[in-house]
Every structure is written in structure tokens, then in C-alpha cells.
């Protein structure tokens, strides 16, 4: 049966929709939570448990060299025996790699982050293994297949007899949870004719069975699901007319209440709060003692209210950083990233503080959180303006400076000079720094009209409006204008309309010591050349992604220098080798030493932690290991989708998830359904929803938050275009097919009927392939189903 992936969480339990899977995780909470990332699917279950490893860390590896496979082993000793191996193995629940976006969480205290920090404290290399159920994880600890169960495990008397349980990470109640339109769950004793859907083989499933047994006449049934299936079902049903009823930790359920405002919390299931712990082997006393000491020293709670001065910050041990979910703070390929996030993390680390991210809605003014004492620092590429200073804030040392540029539609007359703005209209958001620039232009004699966008319009709406021709023009920071013009081919960047404007963070007025600390950090950090390059990378277009599908191929020749590797591993993972080559070109231009600024490596640009979960250790600059890891991961992602999906749609979904992360893809499918689009079809449907996940009105209600939606859309389009050309160029022998491959459909056929022609055109006279924009998936006629083909039965 197919495994639909889940979503883990790293989250605390404050307001807003703190990560959902911490939702479902703690959810499943007190009992068994997650926050790991995608684990490897090997062809045999035994091999999975032996070889699936995970992320050593999210830091990128600078050195080159070949990666190697990690082979698990049996170790039943204590800390001294573990230290001899130099590796500590953490087991977590089978889940989706990313975990939802933390909107108000101490991001450094998720289970995974704590495990990494523990490993660093012990001087050991961490490996993350996965279990589908809490019971399987417990067995892995007992049998010596893992060393620490680093999940939110509920402490029970039975478990204490089998395992060494740590000091509690927290205490919580179990509660009933359903959607707003669900049945009355205010009293356990009043439940009648309902089904409780809970995590398989967990203490929550035991609690559900006990409720059913104690209320035998009430017709209560219990359904158990693996974590990934339970999470997906809860998400899909919670705002529907018939939501499921489940049991989760109360503190986690409270965060779920904020997720689209659709959750309803009911009666308590437990009489007393239950302890949430980690676990080690029963006789591993030294390891347990070291973990207990680490947790006592490390775990902190974010105080609900305190002063924002430096002394109070240090006493609390927590730095509260307010920002927007957007380009400065977002999840990409399973990694929390963004310029503001990276800088805030480094500042907190340098000062021995835990970082609490407070991601506020797009329409909320960040200065309000400073003035009300809810945050210590605030910023999201915030331009220094006098109007903001008048609101009672001081600005830090500038992080960067940028001019402002006009963006207009290519079909309109160009705006290359200030004089070209005469008679034109700029559509701008109210309260933005661009309004001040436009007013300055008018005062200097430029006859430009300023139109304030509707209050509910996001900046993304304005950009799309200019691209579609709805609006005449707008303004954008110059360092972002090139990215916008690259993502939207209809746009063109024009005249620069301002002097360089500094962008910085904000603190409350007269918070002088904090301001001095931040200024000192920024000046020292940004003074290092490689750090400045890191900042610049956030504002450069992704040339590899944004190039069109053009590859130097000739009929009858090899498609790439790595055709043999593509054929070898495509065969192993039931992919078309030409698709693998197309993806390889898109990812790295066939450069085996390629490395992105976010750390993706090699021909297939796999993130190191993802590769480790696929069973590969070390850098991925060796072509064979990179292609093997990439094809294995693509196949693994493809298997996360329902069996009922057409094979071609599963492939497009898998490619989009490979690029952006499966969490954003799931958000896009859920959004497509709400927009009355087809959640089971990529082109013209889910890709439309994916684009909308860059707009606050949509991403603020998405579990994984902001997505650079134009990137996966262009990514899938480029690969499908190039793949179409390659199918004309080379044969596609494939064996051992487990799935039907994508069908080959006519561009003009609304019924998607099979044809035997080729809709793309290959032009050998040129250096690349010129193709029709894809609207349906393609397959060469040599691979079309026949009566004797294995997938036509």
C-alpha cells in the first residue's frame, strides 16, 4: 500500500499556527512525534532499516570527494561503546522531511535540532534513522539498531520497564480534536456513533481503544493509521464537512486551532498531564545521564512577556525575532532558510541564545511587536525610512543597500529613463517605501500617476498584475527586480528611480545595549568576504533554474557525458533515463562539482541531508553517487503519492517536490482543491496553486508557508520540454516496470487520448532544443502501451 508522506514539526506552542505537524506530531503528540525528513525507500524493508540514515547536519560540506553508503550495525552497549564508533544513531518517526513552518517557535529546540546539538556536545557524528510507528522505534533501540529515540515519546510504566527514559522535555494533556464542523466532542462520555482515527501502535491508539471499551454501548470504533497517512487525512478533512476525530497533545492542539481557524478542541482524555521523553536502552545509564544533563542545560521556555533589553534577553536565554514569512524566512527543500533567518540564527548562536522566530501576518506592522514588547528585534529586508523612525524604532547597521527600479510589461512602451515615466501609472502598496519614492519623483517634476493597490492586494498580486497587463508598472528593489523579470518573462526591469536605500533590522527606541550588540555582530559578520557573498546570493536570479530548456545535443549522439550512469540508475529505480538526463542538465548543466549557495551538491543537486537519508554519506561530487542518490530520491518522492494518481501526474508532482520540497507540493494540492482546481493534475491546476503560495493571503494559511512558487513551475516546465526533445533523440529501453510510465498525449486533445506522434520539435541545426510549451506529459511512441505490455493489463 502506498505511503503518503507526513509532515513533521519543529515547533513550540505559541500563537499562530505553529507548525502543523508538531501539530500532528506532538499531535500524536504526547506520544510520539516527529520532525524528521524523508527517509530512504530501499527495495526491501530489512535494507531500509539497515541503511536509511539521515542528516548529519544541515551545514554544507565544503570538501570534495566521493560519498559512501552508510551501513547500519548492531550496538547494544553504553556511551563508551558508542564513542568508539564515533557515531550516534537517532531514530525518529517516519515522516516528511521538512516539517511545517514555525510561525512562533524556538526553532533551535525541535527534536532534530536538539539531537544534532547533543551529538556535537558528545563529539559524535549524528545519523538519523526512521521508524514507521513508535513501537518499531522502540524495538530498534532494544535491538541495538539505534541509540536514542529522539521523538516526543509518552512515558508509560510499561515503557519504563523496557527502556531508559530521559527527564521530561515537557508535560501535556491528551485531548479530542476535530474540525469546526465536526461532532460535539466536549465530553468523552457523550461520544456516540463516531470513529476515532489515531496513530498506529501508539499510546494514543491505546487511549482510543480504552474509550471504546469503557463506552461499549456508544458504538465507538477505532481506526489506526501510520503517521504519514494520519497527518494527510487530518489536514484534508479538518476544514471539510466531515472532519475526522483524533487525539493529540493539548498544547499542540492549541496551535492547530490557529491553522486556518478550523480546528476544534474537545474534552481531555487523560486525567493528569503525561510526560514527554526521549529513550535509550535500559542499561545505557551513562548515555541517559549525559542526555538528561544536556536537556536540563538546554531546554528553555519562551516567556510570554518580558522586557526587550539585553539583560532580560540574556536572563531568559531566548532571542525573539519578528519577521514575515517570505523571502527572508521560509522553507526550501526541507531547510529553514532566508537571509533574515540565517543572520538571526548566527547572532543568537554567537551570543549563546535560543532563537524564537515570530512570523507575523503580512498585513501586520513589525514595529507593533517591538512597541508592545512581543519581540526583541524585527526585520524583513526593511528599508530605513523616516516614517518608520517616527513610529518609535531605531535601525541597526544596514545589512544591504539597494536602489529601486521600475518593472513594466514588455508589451508596453519601455521605461528606460525618468522622462519615460511621464504619463505612466505606478501601482504600489499603501505604506511601502515605494510610495515615498514615487512622491519624491512627482515633487521633482516627473508626471507619473500613483495608484494605491487594494488593501488586500499583496506585492505578489501587483507583480502578477503588471505581468498580465492589468497594471501599467510598479517599483521593486533593484536586487529583486532581476529575479522578478526572470521568473515572469512578460516583465522587464527599467529605469532606476532612487539613490541606494539601506535596509536593516529594527529595535525599540533607546534599546541601546541591544542595538550595540547587533551592530557589532553585523559589522563583523558582513565584513568577511564569504559572508557578504552569502548575502548577495539571496538576491541573484537562479540562472540554472531560469534558463529555458536548451541543451547541446545532436541526433545520434550521446545526450550527456553521463548517459551510462543515467541508464544504470534509471533502470534500478524505474525511471526513463532520458528524463534523468534532462533533470541532470536542469540541475547542474552536467557539472559534477556544482554546489548551490544552499548546499545542494553534484550533478543532481541533492541536499547532503537528503542524500544521507537515501543512504549516502559525505559530499556528492562523485558522478555515480550523485546520480544514484538523485534517482533514488526522485523515485522515493514519487512513491509518496496515491496509487490512484495517473503515472504522468505522479512524475510531475515528484519533480516539483524534488525542487521545492514535498511540503510545498502538498500545500499546493490542498490549495488547488479550495480554488476548485484539480488537485490531481499538475499542468494548469496544481501549478497555478503553487504560484499562489508566494502570496500572503494564501501562504499565511499554508502549513509550509511561503514558497517561491514560480521556481518549481518553471523547473517542471523546463525538464518536460527537454525530456520531450530527448525522446526524439534516443531510445528509451526500460525494464522491470513497477508503474506505467507517463502517457504520450496530443497537445490538441482535450480528452488526453493516446497518439503516436511527437508534439515537440527538435532542431538539430541549433545548439539547443526548441519546443512547444508542455501541457501534457510525453512518452515516445516506442513506449506506448500495447496488448503485450506489462502495464496494460
Burial class (CB in 10 A: 0-12, 13-18, 19+), 718: buried
Q: Which of 72, 77, 69 is nearest to 90 (CA)?
A: 72
For 123, the 3-state DSSP assignment is coil
- For residues 408 and 414, give the distance between their C-alpha atoms in angstroms, rounded to a whole number: 8
Is residue 316 within 8 A of residue 303, CB to CB? The reply is yes
Residue 469 CA to residue 280 CA, distance in Å, equals 61
Q: What is the DSSP letter of 454?
A: P
Find all residues with CB under 8 Å of 302, minimum gap 6, and list them: 12, 14, 106, 316, 318, 320, 356
CA distance 101 to 336: 8
Q: What string of DSSP letters covers 241-296? A: SS--BEEEEHHHHHHHHTSTT-EEEEEES-SS-EEEEEEEETT-HHHHHHHHHHHH
DSSP string, 707-718: --THHHHHHHHH
Quote helix, strand, coil % in the chain, to nearest 5: 40, 20, 45
Q: Give the cell for residue 53.
A: 540514515
Going by the DSSP 8-state scheme, the letter that residue 384 receives in this structure is P
- Could you identify the residue written with the cell 513497477? 738
Kindly report the backbone phi and psi dihedral angles of residue 483, in degrees, each rounded to the nearest multiple of 5, phi listed first.
-65, -45
The answer to whether residues 378 and 323 touch, using CB atoms and an 8 Å cutoff, is yes
Task: Return the SS3 of 552.
Answer: coil
The kind and range of the H/E element at 90 are strand 87-93
Residue 129 contacts residue 95 (beta carbons within 8 Å): no
The DSSP secondary-structure symbol of 423 reads: T
CA atoms within 13 A on the CB side of 597: 19
- What totals of helices (H) and strands (E) does the chain contain, helices first? 29, 27
Q: How far apart are CA 403 and CA 380, in angstroms?
A: 17
Please list the residues that pair with 401 across neighbouring strands. 502
CB atoms within 10 A of CB 345: 19
Rounded (10°) angle between helices 577-588 and 623-638: 110
The answer to whether 187 touches 268, Cβ cutoff 8 Å, is no
Cite the active site residues.
587
Rg over CA atoms, the chain: 27
Q: Kindly report the number of other CB atoms within 10 A of residue 302's CB atom.
A: 20
Amino acid at each position: 500500500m502506498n505511503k503518503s508522506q507526513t509532515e513533521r514539526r519543529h515547533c513550540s506552542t505559541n500563537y499562530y499556527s505553529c507548525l502543523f505537524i508538531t501539530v500532528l506530531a506532538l499531535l500524536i503528540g504526547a506520544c510520539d512525534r516527529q520532525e524528521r525528513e524523508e527517509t530512504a525507500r530501499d527495495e526491501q524493508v530489512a535494507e531500509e532499516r539497515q541503511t536509511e540514515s539521515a542528516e548529519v547536519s544541515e551545514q554544507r560540506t565544503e570538501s570534495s570527494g566521493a560519498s559512501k553508503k552508510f551501513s547500519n550495525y548492531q550496538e547494544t552497549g553504553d556511551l563508551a561503546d558508542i564513542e568508539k564508533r564515533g557515531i550516534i544513531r537517532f531514530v525518529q518517526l517516519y515522516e516528511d522531511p521538512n516539517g511545517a513552518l514555525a510561525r512562533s517557535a524556538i526553532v533551535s529546540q525541535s527534536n532534530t535540532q536538539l539531537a544534532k546539538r547533543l551529538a556535537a556536545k558528545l563529539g559524535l557524528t549524528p545519523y538519523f534513522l526512521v521508524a514507521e510507528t513508535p513501537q518499531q522505534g522502540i524495538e530498534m533501540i532494544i535491538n541495538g539498531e539505534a541509540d536514542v529515540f529522539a521523538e516526543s515519546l509518552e512515558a508509560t510504566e510499561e515503557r519504563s520497564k523496557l527502556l531508559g527514559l530521559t527527564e521530561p522535555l515537557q508535560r501535556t494533556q491528551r485531548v479530542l480534536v476535530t474540525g469546526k464542523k465536526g461532532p460535539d466532542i466536549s465530553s468523552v462520555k457523550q461520544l456516540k456513533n463516531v470513529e476515532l482515527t489515531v496513530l498506529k501502535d501508539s499510546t494514543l491508539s491505546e487511549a482510543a481503544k480504552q474509550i471504546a471499551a469503557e463506552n461499549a454501548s456508544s458504538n465507538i470504533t477505532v481506526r489506526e493509521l501510520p503517521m504519514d497517512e494520519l497527518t494527510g487525512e487530518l489536514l484534508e478533512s479538518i476544514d471539510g464537512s466531515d472532519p475526522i476525530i483524533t487525539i493529540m497533545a493539548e498544547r499542540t492542539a492549541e496551535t492547530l486551532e490557529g491553522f486556518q481557524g478550523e480546528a476544534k478542541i474537545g474534552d481531555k482524555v487523560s486525567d493528569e498531564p503525561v510526560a514527554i521523553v526521549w529513550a535509550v536502552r535500559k542499561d545505557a545509564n551513562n548515555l541517559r545521564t549525559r542526555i538528561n544533563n544536556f536537556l536540563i542545560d538546554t531546554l528553555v521556555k519562551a516567556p510570554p512577556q518580558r522586557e526587550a533589553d539585553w539583560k532580560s534577553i540574556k536572563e531568559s536565554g531566548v532571542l525573539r525575532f519578528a519577521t514575515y514569512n517570505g523571502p527572508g524566512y521560509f522553507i526550501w527543500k526541507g531547510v529553514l532558510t532566508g537571509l533574515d533567518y540565517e543572520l538571526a540564527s548566527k547572532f543568537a548562536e554567537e551570543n549563546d541564545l535560543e532563537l524564537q522566530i515570530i512570523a507575523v501576518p503580512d498585513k501586520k506592522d513589525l514595529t507593533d511587536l517591538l512597541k508592545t514588547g512581543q519581540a526583541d528585534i524585527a526585520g524583513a529586508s526593511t528599508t530605513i525610512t523616516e516614517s518608520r523612525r517616527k513610529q518609535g524604532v531605531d535601525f541597526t547597521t544596514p545589512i544591504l543597500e539597494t536602489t529601486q527600479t521600475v518593472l513594466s510589461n514588455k508589451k508596453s512602451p519601455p521605461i528606460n529613463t525618468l522622462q519615460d515615466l511621464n504619463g505612466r501609472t505606478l501601482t504600489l502598496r499603501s505604506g511601502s517605501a515605494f510610495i515615498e519614492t514615487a512622491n519624491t519623483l512627482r515633487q521633482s517634476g516627473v508626471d507619473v500617476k500613483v495608484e494605491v493597490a487594494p488593501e488586500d492586494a499583496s506585492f505578489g498580486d501587483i507583480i502578477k498584475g503588471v505581468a498580465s497587463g492589468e497594471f501599467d508598472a510598479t517599483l521593486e528593489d533593484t536586487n529583486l527586480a532581476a529575479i522578478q523579470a526572470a521568473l515572469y518573462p512578460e516583465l522587464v526591469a527599467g529605469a532606476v528611480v532612487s539613490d541606494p536605500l539601506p535596509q536593516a533590522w529594527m529595535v525599540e527606541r533607546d534599546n541601546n545595549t541591544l542595538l550595540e550588540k547587533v551592530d557589532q555582530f553585523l559589522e563583523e559578520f558582513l565584513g568577511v568576504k564569504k559572508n557578504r557573498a552569502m548575502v548577495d546570493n539571496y538576491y541573484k536570479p537562479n540562472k540554472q533554474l531560469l534558463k529555458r530548456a536548451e541543451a547541446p545535443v545532436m541526433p545520434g549522439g550521446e545526450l550527456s557525458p553521463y548517459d551510462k550512469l543515467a541508464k544504470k540508475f534509471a533502470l534500478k529505480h524505474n525511471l526513463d533515463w532520458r528524463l534523468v538526463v534532462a533533470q541532470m542538465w536542469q540541475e547542474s548543466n552536467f557539472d559534477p562539482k556544482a554546489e548551490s549557495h544552499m548546499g545542494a551538491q553534484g550533478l543532481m543537486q541533492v541536499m547532503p541531508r537528503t542524500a544521507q537519508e537515501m543512504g549516502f554519506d559525505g559530499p556528492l561530487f562523485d558522478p555515480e553517487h550523485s546520480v544514484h542518490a538523485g534517482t533514488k530520491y526522485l523515485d522515493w518522492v514519487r512513491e509518496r503519492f496515491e496509487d490512484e494518481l495517473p503515472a504522468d501526474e505522479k512524475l510531475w508532482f515528484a519533480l516539483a517536490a524534488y525542487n521545492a520540497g514535498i511540503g510545498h507540493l502538498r500545500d499546493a494540492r490542498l490549495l488547488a482543491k479550495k480554488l476548485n482546481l484539480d488537485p490531481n493534475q499538475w499542468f494548469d491546476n496544481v501549478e497555478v496553486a503553487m504560484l499562489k503560495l508566494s502570496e500572503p493571503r494564501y501562504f499565511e494559511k499554508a502549513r509550509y508557508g511561503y514558497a517561491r512558487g514560480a521556481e518549481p513551475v518553471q523547473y517542471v516546465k523546463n525538464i518536460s520540454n527537454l525530456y520531450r526533445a530527448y525522446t526524439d533523440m534516443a531510445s528509451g529501453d526500460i525494464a522491470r516496470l513497477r508503474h506505467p510510465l507517463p502517457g504520450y498525449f496530443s497537445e490538441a486533445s482535450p480528452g488526453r487520448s493516446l497518439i503516436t506522434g511527437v508534439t515537440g520539435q527538435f532542431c538539430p541545426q541549433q545548439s539547443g532544443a526548441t519546443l512547444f510549451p508542455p501541457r501534457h506529459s510525453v512518452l515516445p511512441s516506442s513506449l506506448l502501451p500495447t496488448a503485450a505490455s506489462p502495464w496494460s493489463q
